Amino acid sequence: MTRLETVDPSDDRQYAEFYAAYAAAYAGTLVPLWTAREKRVHLQPDPYEPYTALFARDDDGRPVGGGSVTLPQRDNREFAYAEVWTVPGRRREGHATAVLDALEDIARRAGRSTVFMEATSPLDDDHPAPVAFLEKRGYIFDMRDAVRELPLPAELPAPSGDPAYRLESWHGRVPDDRLEQYAALRRLIVSEAPQGDAGLEDQFWDAERVRSEQDRRERQGRDFWITVAVAPDGTLAGHTDLVLPEGSADAFQWDTLVLREHRGHGLGLAMKLANMHAAADDLAGRRAIITYNAAANRHMIAVNEAMGYRQVAWVGEYVKKI
C-alpha cells in the first residue's frame, strides 16, 4: 500500500525526509540532482508554472518515492509536466504507479489533456527500466535529447564570430534597457529549436516574468551568467544562459538561441565562449558543465562538440493523452 502526501515546503521535517528520499532515488544515476535549496524554493507559489510534489510512504511510514507535476498557466495549458521516482530497494512494488496515477489525476482535474514525462538512458541501453515503465503506462515516445558534459577546467577553442556583432555579458540580472528584447528572445526557444509532434507552443515571457525568474533563481542560490549578441543595428540577435547552483559540483548550460536572420555568423559558439570566459572565476572548482540538446539539433551539437562537450546519456520525452 502506498500513502501519498503533498509536500509542504514550510514543513521542515517533512521536507527534509522528502529531499533525502529524492536524493537517494537519483544518487549514482545520470539525472542531475537539484540542491535542497533549489527544490524547496521551486515548491513555493509561482504564478507562471506552479509545481506540486507528492511524497510516498509505505504502511509503516517509511519513504518509498515521490513525484511532481508542473502546470503552465500562461502557455501550453493543455499540458502537464510530470516526474516520478522511487527510492532504491523499493522499486517494482507499485509505488511509482500510485504516484503517477495521482499526478495524472491532478493534471486531469486542472483541465490538462496531455502529460509529458522524461526517461534518461545510458548510451549503451536504449530501453532501460524507466522507459519500460512509461510504455507500460501508455506513454508514447515523442523525441530524444542528448545529454553532454564539458569537464572542467576546459581547454576552449579560440574566440570567433563576426566582428560586426558585439557581445555583452551580464552577471545575474538583465539590465533594464535590455529587458524587453531579452524577454522576446526567451519566447522563441520552442519554435526555434527542434521539437517532437506533441504540439508545444512558444512560452509566455515578458519583462515581469524575466524579473520573477531572476528573483526565484537568487532565492534558490543559483548564480547565473548571460551573454547576448548585439546586432549592428543595436538589437539583440541571440543569447545564452549559464546557471551555477550554490552547493552543486556542476554548472548547467541552459538556453542558447540565435535568431534565424542572424544565423551563419558563428554567434552561438561566440556567445558560449564569451559566457564561459566571463564566468571563469565562478566555474573554478566545478566538476563539469551539463547541457541538453534535441538529438536533431545538429548545429548546436556541433557547437558544443567544438567546445569539448561529450555525450554521456540520452533523455527520451514521452507523452500520454489523459
Tens digits of residue pLDDT in 154-189: 999 998 889 999 999 999 999 999 999 999 999 999
In a domain, 20, yes or no: yes
Same domain, 32 and 99: yes
In this prediction the pTM is: 0.95
Tens digits of residue pLDDT in 4-55: 999 999 999 999 999 999 999 999 999 999 999 999 999 999 999 999 999 9
For 76, the domain range is 3-112
In Å, how far from its chain's centre is CA 3? Answer: 29
In a domain, 118, yes or no: no
Same domain, 304 and 162: yes
In a domain, 254, yes or no: yes
pLDDT of amino acid 126: 75
pLDDT of residue 292 exceeding 90, the answer is: yes
In a domain, 89, yes or no: yes
pLDDT of residue 255 exceeding 80, the answer is: yes
Give residue 71's identity as a one-letter amino acid code: L
Q: Which of 65, 86, 112 is the last residue of a domain?
A: 112
The DSSP H or E segment spanning 306 is: helix 298-307
- Average pLDDT (278-293) is 97
| CATH code at position 57 | 3.40.630.30
pLDDT of amino acid 53: 98
Counting beta carbons within 10 angstroms of the beta carbon of residue 110, is it exposed (0 to 12), middle (13 to 18) or buried (19 or more)?
middle
Three cell numbers, residue 185: 528572445
pLDDT of amino acid 284: 97
| Percent of the chain with pLDDT strictly greater than 90 | 96
Same domain, 169 and 309: yes
In a domain, 281, yes or no: yes
Q: Which of 112, 135, 166 is the last residue of a domain?
A: 112
What band does 285 get if pLDDT is binned at 50, 70 and 90?
A: very high
pLDDT of residue 194 exceeding 90, the answer is: no
pLDDT of residue 315 exceeding 90, the answer is: yes
* Angle (CA) 145 100 11, round 5°: 100
The DSSP H or E segment spanning 179 is: helix 179-186
Give the position of cell 532565492. Answer: 219
Q: Spell out where 190-309 has E strands.
A: 222-230, 236-245, 250-258, 288-294
C-alpha to C-alpha distance for 202 and 74, rounded to whole angstroms: 10
Same domain, 80 and 165: no
Q: Which of 88, 112, 136 is the last residue of a domain?
A: 112
C-alpha to C-alpha distance for 181 and 318, rounded to whole angstroms: 32
Whole-number average pLDDT of the chain: 97
Three cell numbers, residue 237: 540577435
